[in-house]
Amino acid sequence: MRKRLFVGSFVQIPQEEVKKVRSTIESLKVEGKWVELHNLHFTYRFIGEVEEEKVPQIVQMLRGRLKGVESFPVKFTGLGTFTSNGLPRVLWIGVESQGVYTVKERVDQALMPFGLPPEREFKPHVTLLRIKKLRRRGKLDELVMKMKNHVFLERTEVSVALIESKLTPQGPIYSVVEEFKLG
């Protein structure tokens, strides 16, 4: 049996902050699939499908590489978009912290023995919306610029998790396989 895995961290963006953004986005006639509040997270590394018997080895490698990493401050700030064919397809909140890059490097090192070379690009973010239809791109761009420095949340990152993602017609179901506490 296989498990679909990623290394990440769940984020509890205040509900009123998400509601304000959602209300504004919907008034701009942007349609799509919003990520449920309980599923908000950022990903250090998507691993993909893994044979179940390899999971303990992955856990062991991650535990070893993350040992000694201290907890660190993180700021969730600004809105941005990822585009496909020149059109915004994902609306996200940015993740600012030097510690995120330290963890990312350690996670990549832990996964190399499993045939997963380090990723070339890493843009830490929390996905809010997968955009399906957009009528007023200029207005969306204006909102992103206006919210560029808006701080949604500040916290100290105290753990990283290996997370299983089960895809269902209703959306993904995430469950923590193993949590790694930071020093």
**CA distances to 3, 12, 39, 168 from 129, in Å:** 25, 15, 12, 17
CA–CA separation, 42 and 90 (whole Å):
14
Q: What is the largest CA-CA distance in the chain?
A: 49
Residue type, 117: P
Q: Which residues partner with 87 through β-bridges?
A: 84
Which residue is it, tokens 């691993």?
47
Query: Smallest Cα–Cα separation from 3: which of 74, 44, 53, 51?
Result: 51
Q: What positions carry a catalytic annotation?
A: 41, 125
Which residue is it, tokens 């100290």?
156
Under 8 Å CB-to-CB from 14, ≥6 apart: which residues?
A: 152, 153
Structure tokens at 26: 């919907």
